[in-house]
Amino acid sequence: MAKTRAFVFKNWIMTKRNVFTLFEILFWPLVAFLSVGLLTEFAALQPEMKAFILIGVIAMSAVQVCQLDVAYALLYDVWSKAIKHGFAAPVGIRHLLFGSLIVGILRGGSVFVILVIASYALFGFNFTLPGALPIALFVLGLFLSAAMVGVFVCILVLVFGNRAEVAAWSLTSLMLLLCGVYYPVSVLPVWVRGLAEIIPLTYFLEYFRLFYGFPPIFSHVLLKGYVMVIAYLVIEIFAMKAALHRAKRTGLLLKLSE
Amino acid sequence: MNFAIEVKELHKTFVAGWLRKRTKQALRGVNLSVPEGVFWGLLGPNGAGKTTLLSVIANLLIPEQGEVRVLGNDLRKSAGAVRRRINLSSGHANFLWSLTVKENLEYYAMLYGLSGNKRRQRVEDLLALFDLQEFARVRFEELSTGTKQKLSLAKSLVNDPALLLLDEPTVGLDPDVAHRIRDAVQRLHRERGTTILMTTHNMKEAEILCERIAFIKDGRIRAVGKPQDLKEELRLGDTISIAFSGTVQAEALRSLQGTYGVQTSDSLCRILVDDHRKRLPQILDFFMGRQIFIHDLRIQESDLEDVFIAYTK
């Protein structure tokens, strides 16, 4: 428990102390949200189309912020060149994942709540329409997706070093393109749709939009989303262990501390 | 005898580059046994493999070949159990830059599984032990090099380790701070009986602190022993320089017990002996017996630096 708390403690203090993390919660998500929201107004979209797009923006912003925290669990140590001290301690990948995810959920949850309120106040969009359980299932799916992306960034950093830190910001942009955030995946070329089908976020977005009158393209979206995201997380935990072992074998872990 | 560290036939090669691979053999069959409770020094020139060996023992590097047992555990099978009982401190310390001294200590105490009052007490004790209370609320990025180093040592004690690995703990520090760090390390070893394996380039430091020394060069251990034994093994000895009036027969001086060599000129002779404490009386007897008047006498002891130079040649 104390080891998991260590990662909560670290991420929380780093969040409090650094202005850029405040920007991540307030500035960028609100800018993106307002830009897209105003565009829907300008385009005079029907309420259901507006809902389609705003759901995507809100979900993506929450995922982006939450996954950053999971990636930061490793990146803060890499940037401080203190990574060897962390891995010299008797901690496991699970401590890193759960600890950082708790802070990620707090930060991503804050973004989510802020944007839900803003969407109602500014654009008259009622996010609570589907009810408590669908919202809870949707939000849980988002945070699990975020954890999946964050761990993937950690794996890349342990394999490729500092060069891979750019993945912390670029992976979610790729998801933005593939998962049908601003448009349904049906508009994607068939071969790209294949990629969308292997990303759990696609299914969670499809599930939630169902309550706003958009029938899903795929079947059993919630089940597929959860099975996929949990399977990926389990695979990633083993992959991260292997990546850490490799970093110890190649000397990358020490190089990241120099 | 129980060993804190047992290393057998350890090999570690680094490979760099993707297309054009470059390899560097850092360790080439290292064998080392460090008994529990001993302050052990690991000396060698730059690139000899000191930090690599320390990193393998700390489970931060995985070797291709060889066996490493730490505190009775096979490092390959029980790395977690080993990491719980060891800790390390490096020169040029780096920690989370935005966290204060106290927060950094709390963070690492948590990583080692300490919680609640036990953690709070431990952190307070370490702040007191290293005179860090006045810096408790100062962020790491704002600390001086010496204070960062103290924090590094304090962090290395959060889990009260049975084995402490110190990688050049006083490098880059001014003499006063280095002296205080050495004092703290010596006190720690004396009072807690912690086994310490320390790498250093500072021979005086090694001579003051270490009970046993291992010399490593080109990834191989070249010599192991007490500092005095190493000097004797190399027949480095001490030099006794005597300015005199009269005539001295060099051959007669050479025949004295424990004498490695004699150089004489008109009024000065240099005698290389194994240990000046043992040999000075007989040399004085030699001069007085021949009624040779001594004007001046100087003794120059060989030190670890001479041993270092001899082994790194």
Question: What residue spans define the domains of chain A?
Answer: 2-255
Residue appearing with tokens 């009260």 = B160
Arithmetic mean of pLDDT, A224-231: 96
Q: What is the pLDDT of residue A236?
A: 95
Reported as type and span, the H/E element at residue A86 is helix A83-88
- Contact call for A89 and B155, based on CB within 8 A: no
B28 and B218 Cβ atoms separated by less than 8 Å: yes
Q: Is the pLDDT of residue A113 over 90?
A: yes
* Residue type for position A100: S
pLDDT tens-digit readout, A28-69: 889 989 999 999 889 888 888 899 999 999 999 999 999 999
Mean pLDDT of the residues in chain A: 91
Q: What is the pLDDT of residue B252?
A: 85
Q: What is the pLDDT of residue A18?
A: 82
- Tell me the pLDDT band of A87, cut-offs 50, 70 and 90: very high
B75/A contact by beta carbon, under 8 A: no
A88 and B87 Cβ atoms separated by less than 8 Å: yes
Please give, rounded to a whole number of angstroms, the shortest distance from the CA of A219 to a CA of chain B. 44
Measured distance between the N- and C-terminal CA atoms of chain A, rounded to whole angstroms:
30
- Contact call for B119 and A2, based on CB within 8 A: yes
Candidates A17, A79, A90; nearest CB to B80: A90
Interface probe, candidates B75, B94, B95, chain A, greatest A C-beta count within 10 A: B94
Q: Is A180 left (phi over 0), alpha (psi -120 to 50) or beta?
A: left
Burial of B191 (0-12, 13-18, 19+ CB in 10 A): exposed
Give the Cα separation of A256 and A242 in Å (integer): 17
Q: What is the pLDDT of residue B50?
A: 92
Arithmetic mean of pLDDT, A110-134: 92
Q: What is the pLDDT of residue B52?
A: 94
- Tally Cβ neighbours within 10 Å of residue A41: 12
Q: What is the pLDDT of residue A44?
A: 86
B274 and B260 Cβ atoms separated by less than 8 Å: yes
- Give the 3-state secondary structure of residue B73: strand
Give the Cα separation of A99 and B187 in Å (integer): 36
- Contact call for A88 and B107, based on CB within 8 A: no
Q: What is the pLDDT of residue A47?
A: 86
A255/B contact by beta carbon, under 8 A: no
Q: By CA distance, what is B61's nearest residue in A?
A: A248
With a CB-CB cutoff of 8 Å, which residues 73-102 of chain A face chain B?
Answer: 76-77, 79-82, 84-91
- Contact call for A3 and B110, based on CB within 8 A: yes
ipTM: 0.88
* Cβ pairs A/B, distance under 8 A: 91
Give the pLDDT of chain B (313 residues) as one tens digit per residue: 789 999 999 999 998 877 788 888 989 999 999 999 999 999 988 888 999 999 999 999 999 999 999 999 999 999 999 999 999 998 888 999 899 999 999 999 999 999 999 999 999 999 988 889 999 999 999 998 888 988 998 999 899 899 999 998 888 777 887 888 888 888 888 888 899 999 988 888 888 889 999 989 899 998 898 877 777 776 777 889 999 888 888 888 888 888 888 888 878 899 988 888 888 999 999 888 888 888 899 988 877 777 777 777 6
**The two three-digit tokens of residue A236, written as one number:** 């990633």
Residue appearing with tokens 């029907």 = A46
A123 and A29 Cβ atoms separated by less than 8 Å: no
